[in-house]
Each structure stands twice: as C-alpha cells, then as structure tokens.
C-alpha cells in the first residue's frame, strides 16, 4: 500500500517562486509515489482575505497553477477544503483538546501579533484546522516549506492529545522539507511572502518578473571572501572582502546548476555595475523555466477547474466521512 501524502496552498494571492520551490515542485516530484491529496485551503485564506471576488479568482488561479506545474488531476485527489465541511468539525474537536497557551506559542500567530496586525480568532485556531486537514485523511507525509514545520508539529500534538483521551485513532504525520531549499528570500532579503510584497511572481508576465528581479536589493552590505593574486612573481595572494548580494545569489541558485552559477558570479563580480547583467541573466533563466508552464496554465479553462474540484470533493468527502464515523464513535457523539 502506498503511503498517504497531503499538502495544501492558501488561495490568498498570486503564487511566487518561494511557493514553487518550497511547496509545489517538491510535491510534483513526489506525488506519483504516494496516495496523494492536494488541497486549496480556502477556509484558511479567510483568516487574511475578506474580498469574495478576489477569493473566488484566487481559487481558480491556484487550481490552474497546480495543473501548470505538472500535477495530473487523475493521479491525485485535488479538492477545495470548504467542500468537505468535516474539516471544520474535526478542528473544533481538536480545539476542545488543546490549551490556549499552547496555541499562543504558534509562530504564525506570534509573528502577526508582533507586527501589530489584527489577530482574529481564526488565525489563532489556524493550526487546529490544519491538523484536521491532515488527520482526517490519515496523511503520513506532508510536503511543506520550512516555515510550516511547526504547524505539522501541532498536528502531531493534536493527534497525541486525541489518542490519549480517546484511544489510538490517529497516526504521526511527518513534514517533508527539501534539503537545500529552506526559506527562499524575497526581493528585500527577508522571507519571500505574499504578505510582505517582496515576491517574484511565478506566473507573471515577463515584464512583471523583470520588474521584480530588477528590484532585488543588492546593497545589503553583505560581503564574501575572495582570494586575489598580489604578485605575479611570487604568486602571493591575499584574501579580501568583496560586496556580494547573497539574496540575488540564493534566488539564482534555484534556476542554475551550482558550478555554472558560481562561474557567472565570479565573472561579473570583478565588473562595475555587475548586478545589472546578473539580474538580466536571472530574468532569462526564470523565463526559460516558467514559459512552458505559463502556456499550460493558459489552456486550463474555468469549466475544467470546476470539474476537477467537483470530482476531488466527492473523493475527499468519501474518505473523510469514513474517518469521521470512527471519530464520532470514539468521542461519544454517535449513539451506536
């Protein structure tokens, strides 16, 4: 039997290359080897989005993105979270098992509070809805970006609390974080995120991508050591610090083989205005990677999205209902 894999993306804005390398690409590379579930977590998006038209458009958009990056809807249960209301029911059950101080430790919640943003109760309970997403399907492997590691730990904790209270019902889901990807920096050097307006859009036009790349900050004061020859006669060398745009380098690494990339940077580092040609090369490298996906994306029409989600909802609902029957028996709300 194949292991169960599950992940989801919020339809909260246009996807960026951080989402692609942190979540989508790992999923596409893996999902054929598993019994896979892929969600559009629209209820999670409500914690930050209050524009119905935008939400609707984003839902279409995320499904298109999934198809564009290579997900075959025949090989995965692709569904929208709100189509399976059992997720919110299970979230409630978990909320009755965990404590307020425990939820207060969640990074996502703490970060929003620290930034002075409104922390609604949905945001506070966010990890338990995510735990429900995972545990309702007995998912074992959860491919996510590094920033979601703690949320998967919260799902494990919810499972443990439930098992202790009611008997062994849930397994132990494990996050799958790809080595080498980690957290991808945005154009300003902090984590690339829809909420920080520092993204390089995945499916933007070439102009939009170019504009974002050109805005990558390169004057962050970072340096790297370089060995230079000081005397041809003696072969003596010294090590000196040269300016180095670490975030530009990190982003470019995603699109180029390491040795090619190092050669490119070494070559331009000794030029004046070195960042312009480097950025132009990056734009071309992004374009080469994205253009075929952009074409595939354009071929997915609204009715395709509706049909995919309808079928996915039926499949997910069936699995979720079976699990919920067991849960109802365990907690005592079912009378038989």
Residues involved in catalysis: 112, 191, 194
Environment class of 125 (CB within 10 Å of its CB; exposed 0-12, middle 13-18, buried 19+)? buried
Q: Which stretch binds ligand TRP (CB under 6 A): 3-11, 96-104, 226-234, 290-298?
A: 3-11
Closest contact distance (angstroms) between CB of 8 and ligand TRP is: 4
For 171-205, the three-class secondary structure string (H helix, E strand, C coil) is: CCCEEECCCCCCCCECCCCCECCHHHCCCCECCCC
Cα separation of 2 and 173, whole Å? Answer: 15
Tokens describing residue 226: 């370089």
For residue 199, state whether it binds ligand TRP (rule: CB under 6 A).
no
Can residue 38 be called a binding residue for ligand TRP (CB under 6 A)?
A: no
Which is nearer to ligand TRP, 184 or 248 (by Cβ)? 184
Residue 76 binds to ligand TRP (criterion: CB under 6 A): no
> Does the protein bind ligand TRP through residue 8 (CB under 6 A)?
yes
Nearest distance in Å: CB 29, ligand TRP: 16
Residue 285 tokens, joined: 């490298």
Q: Which of 130, 210, 213, 313 binds ligand TRP (CB under 6 A)?
A: 130
What's the 3-state SS for 17-78?
Answer: HHHHHHHHHHHHHHHHHCEEEEEECHHHHCCCCCCHHHHHHHHHHHHHHHHHCCCCCCCCEE
CB of 146 to ligand ADP, least distance (A): 6
Site residues, ligand ADP (CB under 6 A): 9-10, 12, 18-19, 22-23, 144-145, 147-148, 183-184, 191-195
Is 151 a binding residue for ligand TRP by CB under 6 A? The answer is yes
- Copy the structure tokens of residue 111: 């970060």
Under a CB-based contact definition with an 8 Å cutoff, are residues 300 and 68 in contact?
yes
Residue 77 site contact among ligand ADP, ligand TRP, none (CB < 5 to 8 Å, cut-off depends on kind): none
Q: Report the partner that residue 6 touches, choosing among ligand TRP, ligand ADP, none (CB closer than 5 to 8 A by kind).
A: ligand TRP
What does the DSSP 8-state code read for residue 20?
A: I
Distance CA 96, CA 66 (A): 34
Residues near ligand TRP (CB under 6 A): 6-8, 10, 41, 44, 130, 133-134, 142, 144, 148, 151
């Amino acid at each position: 039997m194949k292991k169960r894999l599950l992940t989801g993306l919020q339809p909260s804005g246009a996807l960026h290359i951080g989402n692609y390398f942190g979540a989508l690409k790992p999923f596409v590379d893996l999902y054929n080897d598993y019994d896979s579930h892929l969600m559009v977590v629209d209820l999670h998006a409500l914690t930050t989005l209050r524009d119905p038209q935008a939400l609707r458009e984003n839902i279409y958009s995320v499904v298109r993105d999934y198809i564009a990056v290579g997900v075959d809807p025949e090989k995965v249960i692709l569904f929208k979270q709100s189509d399976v209301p059992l997720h919110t029911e299970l979230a409630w059950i978990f909320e009755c098992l965990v404590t307020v101080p425990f939820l207060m430790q969640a990074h996502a919640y703490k970060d929003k509070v620290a930034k002075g943003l409104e922390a609604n109760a949905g945001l506070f309970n966010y990890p338990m809805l995510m735990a429900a997403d995972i545990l309702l399907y007995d998912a074992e492997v959860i491919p996510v970006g590094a920033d979601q590691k703690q949320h998967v730990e919260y799902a494990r904790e919810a499972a443990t609390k439930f098992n202790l209270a009611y008997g062994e019902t849930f397994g132990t889901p494990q996050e799958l974080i790809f080595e080498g990807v980690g957290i991808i920096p945005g154009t300003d050097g902090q984590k690339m995120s829809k909420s920080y307006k520092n993204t390089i859009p995945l499916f933007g036009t070439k102009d939009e991508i170019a504009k974002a790349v050109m805005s990558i900050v390169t004057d962050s004061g970072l340096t790297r050591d370089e060995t230079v020859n000081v005397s041809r006669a003696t072969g003596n060398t010294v090590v000196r610090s040269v300016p180095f745009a670490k975030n530009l380098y990190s982003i470019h690494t995603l699109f180029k083989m390491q040795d090619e990339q190092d050669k490119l940077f070494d070559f331009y580092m000794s030029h004046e205005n070195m960042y312009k040609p480097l950025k132009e090369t990056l734009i071309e490298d992004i374009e080469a990677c994205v253009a075929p996906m952009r074409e595939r994306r354009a071929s997915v029409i609204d009715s395709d999205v509706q049909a995919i989600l309808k079928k996915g909802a039926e499949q997910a609902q069936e699995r979720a209902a079976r699990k919920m029957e067991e849960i109802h028996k365990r907690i005592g709300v079912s009378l038989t």
